[in-house]
Structure 1
């Protein structure tokens, strides 16, 4: 039995359209499933916990939605030991990208039904669990502006979710002011002047495919950190096209770090986000929890024996 967790409003209505397509495919193949609709992130974990408690033969929880929908149910899936599968229907869909899950609905469903799992790490902090990245500073402010702006809804409506982030970058660039930041990675503290952003990543990309930490791997037990500091607004603007290929890591105003735990303290209050969802403006303390979540992923077959295997829910 599969639990389908559907956010019908994700991606400007893409969640509902995707669910209708998936429902037809599941019925035509006689695959047992139960739908659960959720639109409120604050209630999603409770809803999912309640659904998972009703039976003990769940093969996986398949989320139809975006990164924010996935974020809202991480605690429930980890607590109940049920594997996560993703059929992307959001604006950014970076969780799907990071796990090699196709963006096309039918192909994503096929990946969800293959029963091959990756033992993925989770990022744990005061704000709860995160799967893709915890970002603070400029890019978090971009996300806040995008989520609060009318242009996200407009871009989703025309199927151009990534365009909303580009508009958000230009919007934020006009008003954001960099400041000093202290970053402590595995107990070693470093200070950076005129810091624009600090991103703590478990997957290579966020923001709709921007490769902030291109070397990040979901199952290596490590956090990858990108710090952008000491540069002008024009340099920041020129930085973003390089994120599409991850070539920014060689720039002199970009510092890459790696470790098991990271603390971030800006001299001035800065927004932070986890999986694109707001985490407030308090200083960050994030640690890696290795292998905390099993994810149905096409990448599983490519991993060494022992790093991945058949999914078995331990409810």
Structure 2
């Protein structure tokens, strides 16, 4: 077997703060297989982006992203900022709360990640380019507006509750829904009127095992878009229950669409959920960049 040299970027604060433990487990597994691991621990928000943008990568087999979706988000943005496209693949080491991209590829443990580093193959990864009025960000999971943002804001305030915080935040949203007017364009198709949320998905899962977009793939060059129009609290409860297994897509008020670009305009700036982080405001345009990066799967 070829001897690999892996660059590991570790977020020690992601999820339940299991990043360093996951890094130690991965290092033991790779060393037993004769591989070398260079570990860099992030010092705060944005540091993983800086590392991925500035590191000398030519001698590494892959970048191991040890953390959650936020850590992968930063690494992806760093790689996309490089002056020449980064050909180095990303290996996902799940150590966050949601781990949506890891779930997409059934990577459930550090052992799974080590196996992909040793025996996996690079596969294309689509990236969502999200353009706001004064900035551009790259996403690999979701770009959400409305309740998708409200729930995340509430969940962050309940972080001490661990993974259950998303369910509690969703229940609070059901009790006190916030309906907003918006103008949405998906490719050349225009939709107007009040909405509860609009979410552009690159992955099937969002948050912790919420099967938001059952048909989403990360290599098809398409966005899977969910729109929810105003509905009763009872139906809203069924929608959020259905997200657990994907059965929500056929409920009243839900529109499940696909396209390559979505634009959202609102009457006033509204906050956004970009890969689980509250970042920026409307208006936005999210466009798929097909096969912009690579994953080890």
Q: Given the two structures, how large is their TM-score scaled by the length of structure 1?
A: 0.86
Query: 1:25-57: per-residue Cα shift (whole Å, max 9, x none)?
Result: 222222112101114232321122333x2x512
In 2, Cα distance between the equivalents of 1:238 and 1:250?
11
Q: Which moved more, 1:196-205 or 1:234-243?
A: 234-243
Question: Which sections of structure 1, spanning at least 5 residues, go unmatched?
Answer: 156-160, 298-315
Give SS of 1:41's match: coil
Q: Is the 8 A contact 2:30 2:114 kept in 1?
A: no
Tell me the distance in 2 between the aligned counterparts of 1:277 and 1:44: 15
1:38-187 matches, within 5 Å, as 38-51=42-55, 53=56, 55-78=57-80, 79=82, 80-98=86-104, 100-126=105-131, 127-147=136-156, 149=157, 151-155=158-162, 161=163, 163-187=164-188
Greater mean alpha carbon deviation, residues 24-33 or residues 210-219: 24-33
Q: Kindly state the Cα deviation for residue 271 of structure 1 after the two structures are TM-superposed.
A: 2.2
* 1:230-249 equivalent positions in 2, closer than 5 A: 230-249=230-249
Which residue in 2 is equivalent to 1:196? 196
Aligned to 1:17: 21
C-alpha contact (below 8 Å) 1:86/1:101 kept by paired residues:
no
What is the CA–CA distance in structure 2 between the aligned matches of 1:269 and 1:50, rounded to whole Å? 33
- TM-score normalised to structure 2 length: 0.90
Cα distance in 2, alignment partners of residues 154 and 250 from structure 1: 31
1:239 to 1:67, Cα distance in 2 relative to 1, 3 A: same
Give the conservation status (yes or no) of the 8 Å contact 1:15–1:64: yes
Q: Please state whether the residue corresponding to 1:213 is helix, strand or coil.
A: coil
Structure with bigger RCO (C-alpha 8 Å, 6+ apart): 1
Structure 2 unaligned blocks of 5 or more: none
CA RMSD of aligned residues (A): 1.6
